[in-house]
């Protein structure tokens, strides 16, 4: 009964527009008072402090900070020029180049909202000027931005790893192939739209131009090679890799390209700090809720009830996929991970699902959630940039979301797709 009331209370608080982090805190405190009495009150302060000191989460502000430096350091426009020279010669070339740029950018940015804000603000107006309809341009950028959370580094993956006690690095590696698959599928879809609707060719293919734009962008490519190579090679941890990303992006933007705008960088640093505070307050409050969940053994009870119904891991994965797709429509990805992952992990372990495989599935599900209203942070950002109606954009975007969904289904039921590189590197 108390469990039911706790979740109803949490739901009501969220419906009252109480921020989710604080709704979690209030629910946990009231439950704590009912179960343990007022003697447990000082624990609230201790748990809220300890919850915010999870060392692996240090990577989050650092990757956000690195992304902010790259956004202001001239890297975006060089990536766009290279992608345009590479695929701009086919019909719908600029749309395809937009997706390709997002794939490159994803290797440096862990946030889809940052991706769509940085690239969409340049590419959406450019597409509109070339005659692409605004809703189509917004849909291309919105869906492509989701690749940022699938291809490492990825902030949702870091959060998942911490909440589930899994390896950040292995989950990063698991995201590489699905991220590339999503990107290629989206580019293929853009080509299909372009042929059918007669969208223009961006530019003539010139090997010389591909080479010159590659040389210009080469420093931008070196940054992810250093960061991801260092992390995957075991030379640095994910947190240290994030620190190096800050250093490398400052070097490339400030010393090589000499384009860092310090005023914009200051603004971006503040934005990055706020994003960190928002996510980390959720983490801290979830630690408070975690003590209650542990006390009441809710995750274990859930695992027991579902395994009484079925122990088939693919049936359980189907249930979890459906659950995360629904949750993703209503919750920000960070909130969804923090709220749901600790509850379902005992079930995941009980039916023998690899936590790394599951981490990738969660990321793909929540990537779709970023594109599905009412809470669709990435889609709304793209619509805001394109000044397009969310419904009109969604009519096109549904096809691109379909690409991510197909990759999700493939990754769910063919674990070798995400796990191939993980097994190759880490046995």
Partner 1 sequence: MLARYQNIFKKVMEYIVIFLMISLSVLVVVAVIYRKSGMSLSWYDEVASVMLAWLTYYASALAALTRGHIGFNGLLNAMKPSLRIPTLLIGEALVIGFFILLAWVGVEVLVILGGDNLTSLTWVPTRLTQSVIPIGAVLFIVGQLLSFPDMWRQAMSEQGIAGHEDVEIPDEVPQNAREGESP
Interface of this chain with partner 1, residues 117 to 176, rule: CB under 8 A: 117-118, 121-123, 125-126, 128-129
Q: Which residue has the tokens 């310090």?
A: 262
- Judged by CB under 8 A, how many residues of this single chain contact partner 1? 86
71-90 residues in contact with partner 1 (CB under 8 A) are 71-72, 77, 80-81, 84
3-state secondary structure 246-257: HHHHHHHHHHHC
Q: Report the C-alpha gap between 275 and 287 in whole angstroms.
A: 19
User: At closest approach, how far in Å is the CB of 374 from partner 1?
Assistant: 5
Closest approach, Cβ 261 to partner 1, in A, equals 7
329 interacts with partner 1 by CB under 8 A = no
Query: Contacts with partner 1 in 10-29 (CB under 8 A)?
Result: 13-22, 25-26, 29
CA 130 from chain centre, in angstroms, equals 30
Binding of partner 1 by 280 (CB under 8 A)? yes
- The candidate with the shortest Cα–Cα distance to 294, out of 30, 1, 3, is 3
CA distances 27 to 4, 22, 159, 237, Å, are: 12, 8, 22, 35
- Those residues with Cβ within 8 angstroms of residue 326's Cβ, 6 or more apart along the chain or in another chain: none
Does the footprint of partner 1 cover residue 277 (CB under 8 A)? Answer: yes
270: contact with partner 1 by CB under 8 A: yes
Q: Which stretch binds partner 1 (CB under 8 A): 147-155, 304-312, 372-380, 394-402?
A: 372-380
Residue 268 contacts partner 1 per CB under 8 A: yes
In the list 2, 5, 34, 274, the residue contacting partner 1 (rule: CB under 8 A) is 274
Binders of partner 1 among residues 247 to 266 (CB under 8 A) are 247, 261, 264, 266
Question: Binding partner 1 by CB under 8 A: which of 177, 316, 376, 411?
Answer: 376
Per-residue x/- mask for partner 1, residues 32 to 71, rule CB under 8 A? ---------xx-xxx-xx--xxxx-xx--xx--x--x--x
Does the footprint of partner 1 cover residue 201 (CB under 8 A)? no
Q: Which of 271, 318, 349, 405 contacts partner 1 by CB under 8 A?
A: 271
Looking only at Cα atoms, what is the longest distance across the chain? 74
Instruction: Name every residue whose Cβ is closer than 8 Å to that of residue 391 and which is 6 or more positions away in sequence.
Output: none
**What is the C-alpha to C-alpha distance for residues 371 and 112, in angstroms, rounded to an integer?**
10
**For residues 210 and 381, what is the distance between their CA atoms, to the nearest angstrom?**
31
Q: Which residues pair with 269 in a beta bridge?
A: none
DSSP string for residues in 176-210: HHHHHHHHHHHHHHHHHHHHHHTPPB-----HHHH
Residue 247 or residue 398: which is nearer to partner 1 going by CB?
247
User: Shortest gap between Cβ of 368 and partner 1 (angstroms)?
Assistant: 16
């Amino acid at each position: 009964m108390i469990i039911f009331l706790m979740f109803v209370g949490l739901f009501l608080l969220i419906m009252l527009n109480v921020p989710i982090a604080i709704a979690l805190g209030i629910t946990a405190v009231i439950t704590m008072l009912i179960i343990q009495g007022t003697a447990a009150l000082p624990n609230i302060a201790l748990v809220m402090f300890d919850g915010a000191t999870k060392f692996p989460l240090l990577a989050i502000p650092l990757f956000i900070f690195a992304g902010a430096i790259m956004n202001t350091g001239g890297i975006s426009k060089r990536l766009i020029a290279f992608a345009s020279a590479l695929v701009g010669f086919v019909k719908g070339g600029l749309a395809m180049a937009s997706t390709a740029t997002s794939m490159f950018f994803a290797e440096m940015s862990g946030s889809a909202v940052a991706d769509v804000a940085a690239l969409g603000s340049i590419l959406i107006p450019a597409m509109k000027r070339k005659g692409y309809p605004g809703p189509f341009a917004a849909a291309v950028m919105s869906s492509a931005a989701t690749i940022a959370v699938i291809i490492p580094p990825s902030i949702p993956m870091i959060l998942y790893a911490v909440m589930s006690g899994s390896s950040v690095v292995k989950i990063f590696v698991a995201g590489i192939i699905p991220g590339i698959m999503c990107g290629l599928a989206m580019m293929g879809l853009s080509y299909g739209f372009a042929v059918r609707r007669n969208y223009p060719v961006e530019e003539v293919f010139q090997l010389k131009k591909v080479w010159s734009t590659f040389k210009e962008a080469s420093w931008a490519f070196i940054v992810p090679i250093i960061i991801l190579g260092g992390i995957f090679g075991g030379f640095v941890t994910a947190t240290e890799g994030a620190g190096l990303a800050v250093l490398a992006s400052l070097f490339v933007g400030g010393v090589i390209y000499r384009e860092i705008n310090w005023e914009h960088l200051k603004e971006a640093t503040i934005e990055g700090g706020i994003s960190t505070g928002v996510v980390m307050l959720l983490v801290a409050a979830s630690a408070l809720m975690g003590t209650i969940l542990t006390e009441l053994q809710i995750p274990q009870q859930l695992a027991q009830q579902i395994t009484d119904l079925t122990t088939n891991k693919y049936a359980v994965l189907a249930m979890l996929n459906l659950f995360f797709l629904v949750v993703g429509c209503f919750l920000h990805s960070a909130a969804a991970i923090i709220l749901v992952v600790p509850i379902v992990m005992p079930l995941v372990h009980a039916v023998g699902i690899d936590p790394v495989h599951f981490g990738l599935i969660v990321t793909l599900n929540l990537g779709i959630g970023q594109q599905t209203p009412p809470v669709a942070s990435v889609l709304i950002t793209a619509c805001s940039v394109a000044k397009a109606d969310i419904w009109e954009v969604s009519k096109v975007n549904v096809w691109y979301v379909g690409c991510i969904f197909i990759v999700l289904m493939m990754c769910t039921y063919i674990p070798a797709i995400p796990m191939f590189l993980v097994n190759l590197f880490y046995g």
